Amino acid sequence: MTVSNQERIRQQLSSWPGVTVQPHRFGGIEFLYRGREIGHLHGDSLVDLTLPKRQRDQALEEGRARPHHIYPESGWVSIYLESEKELDQALAFLRLNYERLAAKLPESE
């Protein structure tokens, strides 16, 4: 049986300490660390997340992400899960966001 992209992402992020999963206000599911969004997933093929401006610009320039599908001028990017490569890239960016949030919002607070 093939595991969906959504289930693979959910399983991975749910294994990280402090991460919770809930419905996203615009559909899909979102992943939170201490109430702050790491990113969200629409269906089985689209991940949206924010990146710091420098990382966002570099990811867009290198083709590792696309401008957000609705708000292209925002700090958000979209990653379409068209292959294993995009899935791996989405997981890497989600991990970066998790680590950034965990550094700012330590569990012990």
**pLDDT tens by residue, 42-80:** 999 999 999 999 999 999 999 999 999 999 989 999 999
Task: Give pTM, 2 decimals.
Answer: 0.92
φ/ψ of 91, rounded to 5, equals -60, -40
| Res 108: pLDDT | 59
Q: Tally the C-alpha atoms within 13 A of residue 22's C-alpha that lie toward its C-beta.
A: 11
User: Kind of pairing, strands 19-23 and 76-80?
Assistant: unpaired
Q: What is the DSSP string of 74-91?
A: SSEEEEE--SHHHHHHHH
pLDDT tens digits for 1-16? Answer: 788 999 999 999 999 9
Displacement of CA 13 from its chain's centroid (Å): 9
